[in-house]
Amino acid sequence: MRLYNTMSKVKEEFVPIEPGKVSMYVCGPTVYNYIHIGNARPMIVFDTARRYFEFRGYEVRYVSNFTDVDDKIIREANEEGCSASEIAERYIAECKKDMAAMNVRPATVHPRATQEIGGMIEMIRSLIDQGYAYEKNGTVYFSTRKDPDYGKLSHKNLDDLRGGSRSLLVSGEDEKEDPLDFVLWKPKKEGEPYWDSPWGQGRPGWHIECSVMARRYLGPTIDIHAGGEDLVFPHHENEIAQSECCNHAPFAHYWLHNAFLNIDNRKMSKSLGNFFTVREIGEKYDLQVLRLFMLSAHYRSPLNFSAELMESAKTSLERIRNAVDNLNYLLSAVASDEMTEAEKNKMEQINGFEQKFIEAMDDDLNTADALAAIFDLVRFANAEANTESSRAFIGAVKAEILKLGDVLGLIFEKKEDSLDAEVEKMIEERQEARKAKDYAKADAIRQKLLDMGIELKDTREGVKWNRI
Ligand code: AMP
Ligand code: ZN
């Protein structure tokens, strides 16, 4: 399997640190509002990468953070007259609902910055002790000149950057020794959340959180670090500087970055105001349409959002679902069970579609070509499966379509009935846990349901639930 590594600028053969295992860290959203579909792009493409690794037999440990302390969160809290943690809590819950609705699986761990402050203070202290960081009036900076490798990910010309230094200095940071130095710890301002530290009360900079959480949950060296391409510089460059200077070990072996989701050829972003939230799109479309739309392009190609492309993704999804519906009808209608010799020979073709799918995904996760293999399979199903076919043959064709769809996180068959039964069972378990006063278990079940996209309401008539 080959992956394009931003660090080396070429596709490299993937060799895991530990055979059969993959450790992945994906930078998550800053939670001050509903996520938009630009934010959804890394979620969908790296969830797909994770699913594909699992399909190839790897055990994946997938960590993705929530940035829950940040200027934007504080600003939103001040506007609404509530605390920053209330804002963060609310939008983490909303983000998890959106993820479930897009069939993005919850990470193995979803750490939050505010719960990792101790680890951040410890790493900052270690960087100061080792001479890589310095403190000025309650602010701690990383000294980029002390790191001979600084700039190796983004391949930027540091002299040029330093030459144009004024534009890099944010007001209040004039005390920096070098324009490229960045903040590890900043002193509190009135009305802001803060924590005690050896450098006074304050809060951590943004970059340090990912270095600390990646090390805590995955170790000093990880297989894959990923995020949107706007994170290459400075965020990921700074993460590498902090982690490698502190830990004296390579931080990540492969750096994966998705290109932007654009609208009218401009990056979709909150600050430009040219965004659609996942929630808004979910009101108009099944979010499986959004997922298929995202995967119809290679993750490193810019993707322009348009109603036309969404309609075309919708038609494509319907085409596959109709084929599966037809196979279900045939399964209930056909007469013979056993596969004929001719059908057994045709199974080779099915194998061929799977090989095409694998070749595409092995080539730097080419989901566009992988989808083409699924469409070939669907065409084959429409042409070859009919009332004369055996149940075994139709079952095998259907299973193959569903299996490849699942690797991409696409659901081609509605499983409402079986899901309903599972949900009812979990609700019963929760009620029993509550009766036994095991509230931790009851809460865990409620959260698990939320992750599945099911919301519970405790009413006088009993527990009600609905899909979100
Ligand atoms: P943020 O909350 O802005 O830190 O973004 C969270 C994630 O979404 C990061 O990995 C960003 O790179 C990514 N992201 C933000 N906007 C876009 C976009 N328009 N297209 C693709 N990825 C994006
Ligand atoms: Zn990060």
d(CA 28, CA 227): 8
pLDDT at res. 454: 85
Ligand showing the shortest atom-to-Cα distance for residue 206: 2
Query: Three-state secondary structure along 437-467?
Result: CCHHHHHHHHHHHHHCCEEEEEECCEEEEEE
Top mutation candidate among 6, 31, 33, 39 for ligand 1, by most atoms within 8 Å of CB: 39
List the Cα angle 283/284/286 in 5-degree steps.
Answer: 85
pLDDT at res. 251: 98
- Ligand 1 near 267 CB (within 6 A): yes
Mean pLDDT of 90-94: 97
Structure-token match 């399997």, residue found: 1
As a residue count, the chain comes to 468
pLDDT band at 341 (very low <50, low <70, confident <90, very high): very high
Give the position, in ligand 1's atom list, of the atom nearest the Cα of 39: 8
Residue 73 CA to ligand 1 centre (angstroms) = 16
- Ligand 1 near 230 CB (within 6 A): yes
- Ligand 1 near 38 CB (within 6 A): yes
Statement: residue 32 has pLDDT above 70? yes
Question: From its phi and psi, is residue 9 left (phi > 0), alpha (psi between -120 and 50) or beta?
Answer: left
pLDDT band at 12 (very low <50, low <70, confident <90, very high): very high
d(CA 251, CA 244): 6
pTM of the model: 0.89
pLDDT band at 424 (very low <50, low <70, confident <90, very high): confident
- Ligand 1 near 268 CB (within 6 A): yes
Residue 123 CA to ligand 2 centre (angstroms) = 15
- Ligand 1 near 42 CB (within 6 A): yes
Q: In what order do the strands lie in the sheet with 59-64?
A: 59-64, 21-26, 222-228, 252-258
Which residues face 204 on adjacent strands?
185
* Pick from 75-89, 140-154, 157-171, 423-437: least confident: 157-171
Q: Which residues contact 56 (CB under 8 A, 6 or more apart)?
A: 1
- Ligand 1 near 29 CB (within 6 A): yes
Q: pLDDT tens, 205-221?
A: 999 999 999 999 999 99
Q: Alpha helix (H) ranges present in 19-70? A: 37-55
Strand runs labelled E in 160-274 = 182-187, 202-204, 222-228, 252-258, 261-263, 266-267
Statement: residue 338 has pLDDT above 70? yes
- Ligand 1 near 83 CB (within 6 A): no
Q: Are 397 and 349 in contact (CB under 8 A)?
A: no
